[in-house]
């Protein structure tokens, strides 16, 4: 069995499998080169040949255990007909859904517009993947998608999205439910096409008020997982409710996800103890440590292995790789993990 799938099936590995969130991207000169010929990011994501090439770029350089299909969580609002643009150095800009009436603009049948492209990219990647590498499909969870759709741009706290939810709870609930449904369809289509593992990114779970963590994060995620499992009971699903602190425990118990991706602020000792020795955990290196490299990186990798590699564990970052990361540091990291776990040092 492929190393990543083995761990996701609850087996501890001596050397944990490793992949990195946002492993394809702007820190790689070959990505910048490919991207420079295509200035519209969404067209780039939705061109199967380009997406397949970008997916495979990090694997041509490094001995990583997984490929994650190159796309973006915001292809979903695009598919629903929401106006969206990616502006350099600014990020995504969407026409915000600022009133409940605006929800009527969304075309819930539009999802087909992106599914076929992403599935074609998956098909192309699968044909070129080495037999030990696992292909990961992904989507944004409902809360994080709703954040961008309502706010219209990145934010530290997504307070406009919260204001919408408090002012119009019914409309907000409908939005979360509909997003959960089409996200499940979208993920099922990715598995049909060849994705072997799924990751659900809830990047803004950390700014949900505690009072609403259940309806905004847990419940929509539980629905997505349940629907995917009705079609594919065995497909592993990794949940990433970033920066939700102690809520990770309820999230694991109540959503049905197979594994948890931990962020870089979580107390890892708490995590391994409270989530359990059997829990499949992924993470949680601070992305700046990979930028900095050197001794700080070595010490932190050692610490994370000591704490987390006591059960099923997948090495990863606590959030996406930063564009300023020197590509050589990724190579160093992979060698470091291997050396530290094969020399009985730990
Ligand atoms: O290698 C991979 O991980 C696959 C590709 C991938 C991208 N985005 C490509 C991308 C994945 C898994 C994502 C997920 C994503 N997209 C998330 C969840 C994870 C996270 O980082 O929190 C979110 C919130 C988004 C939305 C998004 N896309 C933002 C806010 C931005 C702009 C800021 C940024 O990080 O660049 C993007 C653009 C984006 N998505 C780029 C890439 C490679 C850069 C675009 C470019 O090439 O100019």
SS (H, E, C) 70-102: CCCCCHHHHHCCCCEEEECCCEEEECCCCCHHH
The residues that bridge with 134 in the sheet, in sequence order, are: 66
Cα of 343 to ligand 1 centre, how many Å? 36
At residue 174, the pLDDT reads: 98
The pair phi, psi for residue 122, each rounded to 5°, is -60, -45
**Helix (H/G/I), strand (E/B), else coil: 316:** strand
Supply the pLDDT for residue 89. 86
Of 36, 39, 40, 35, the closest CA to residue 54 belongs to 35
What is the model's pLDDT at position 7? 98
Q: Which residues line ligand 1 (CB under 6 A)?
A: 21-26, 35, 41, 68, 70-74, 86, 91-92, 138, 154, 201, 203, 320
d(CA 322, CA 25): 9
Identify whether the C-beta of residue 321 lies closer than 8 Å to the C-beta of residue 286: no
Q: List CB contacts of 70: < 8 A, sequence separation 6 or more.
A: 24, 45, 51, 52, 54, 55, 121
DSSP character at residue 27: T
Catalytic positions:
22, 26, 35, 72, 148
Domain map (residue ranges) of the chain? 3-342
pLDDT of residue 113: 84
| C-beta separation of 262 from 282 below 8 A | yes
pLDDT of 177 reads 98
**Which residues, 6 or more positions from 188, have their beta carbon under 8 angstroms from its beta carbon?**
227, 228, 231, 232
Q: Which residues pair with 281 in a beta bridge?
A: 260, 313
DSSP 42: H
The 3-state DSSP class for residue 276 equals: coil
Q: Which atom of ligand 1 is nearest to the CA of 44?
A: 47
Burial status of residue 131 (CB atoms within 10 A of its CB: 0-12, 13-18, 19 or more): exposed
Of 145, 137, 283, 118, the closest CA to residue 202 belongs to 145
Angle (CA) 191-197-198 rounded to 5° is: 80
SS3 9: coil
Q: How far is the CA of 71 from the centre of ligand 1 (A)?
A: 8
Distances (CA, A) of 264 to 235, 294, 325: 26, 18, 17
Q: How far is the CA of 70 from the centre of ligand 1 (A)?
A: 9
Q: What is the pTM of this model?
A: 0.97
User: 3-class SS at 241?
Assistant: strand
3-state secondary structure 275-308: HCCCCEEEEEECHHHHHHCHHHHHHHHHHHHHHH
For the domain covering 3-342, report its CATH number: 3.20.20.210
DSSP lists the bridge partners of residue 241 as 202
Nearest of 73, 27, 76, 68 to residue 51 by alpha carbon = 68
Contact 216, 186 (CB under 8 A): no
Q: Which DSSP state fits 127?
A: H
Q: Are 76 and 186 in contact (CB under 8 A)?
A: yes
Q: Give residue 345's pLDDT.
A: 53
Which residue from 18, 20, 22 has its CB within 8 A of the most atoms of ligand 1, so it is best to mutate?
A: 22
Residuewise pLDDT in 10s, the chain (346 residues) = 999 999 999 999 999 999 999 999 999 999 999 999 898 999 999 999 999 999 999 999 999 999 999 999 999 999 999 999 999 889 999 999 999 999 999 999 999 889 999 999 999 999 999 999 999 999 999 999 999 999 999 999 999 999 999 999 999 999 999 999 999 999 999 999 999 999 999 999 999 999 999 999 999 999 999 999 999 999 999 999 999 999 999 999 999 999 999 999 999 999 999 999 999 999 999 999 999 999 999 999 999 999 999 999 999 999 999 999 999 999 999 999 999 999 765 5
């Amino acid at each position: 069995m492929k190393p990543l799938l083995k761990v996701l099936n609850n087996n501890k590995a001596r050397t944990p499998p490793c992949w990195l969130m946002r492993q394809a991207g702007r820190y790689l000169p070959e990505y910048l080169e490919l991207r420079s010929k295509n200035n519209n990011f969404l067209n780039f994501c939705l061109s199967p040949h380009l997406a397949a090439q970008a997916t495979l770029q990090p694997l041509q350089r490094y001995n990583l255990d997984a490929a994650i299909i190159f796309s973006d969580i915001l292809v979903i609002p695009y598919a629903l007909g929401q106006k969206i643009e990616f502006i350099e150095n600014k990020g995504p800009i969407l026409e915000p859904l600022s009133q409940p009436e605006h929800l009527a603009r969304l075309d819930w049948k539009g999802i087909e517009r992106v599914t076929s492209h992403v599935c074609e990219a998956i098909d192309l990647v699968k044909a070129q993947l080495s037999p030990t590498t696992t292909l990961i499909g992904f989507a944004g969870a409902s809360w994080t998608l709703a954040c961008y759709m309502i706010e219209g741009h990145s934010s530290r706290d997504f307070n406009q999205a919260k204001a919408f939810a408090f002012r119009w709870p019914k409309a907000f609930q409908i939005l979360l439910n509909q997003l959960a449904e089409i996200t499940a369809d979208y993920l099922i289509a990715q598995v049909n096409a060849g994705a072997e593992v799924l990751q659900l990114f809830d990047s803004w779970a950390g700014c949900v008020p505690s009072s609403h963590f259940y309806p905004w994060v847990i419940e929509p995620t539980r629905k997505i997982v349940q629907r995917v499992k009705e079609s594919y009971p065995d497909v592993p699903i990794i949940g990433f409710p970033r920066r939700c602190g102690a809520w990770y425990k309820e999230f694991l118990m109540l959503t049905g996800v197979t594994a948890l991706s931990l962020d870089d602020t979580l107390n890892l000792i708490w995590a391994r103890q409270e989530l359990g020795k059997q829990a499949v955990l992924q993470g949680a290196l601070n992305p700046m440590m990979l930028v900095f490299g050197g001794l700080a990186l070595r010490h932190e990798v050692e610490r994370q292995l000591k704490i987390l590699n006591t059960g099923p564990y997948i090495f990863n970052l606590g959030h996406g790789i930063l564009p300023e990361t020197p590509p050589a540091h990724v190579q160093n990291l992979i060698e470091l993990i291997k050396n530290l776990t094969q020399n009985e040092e730990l």
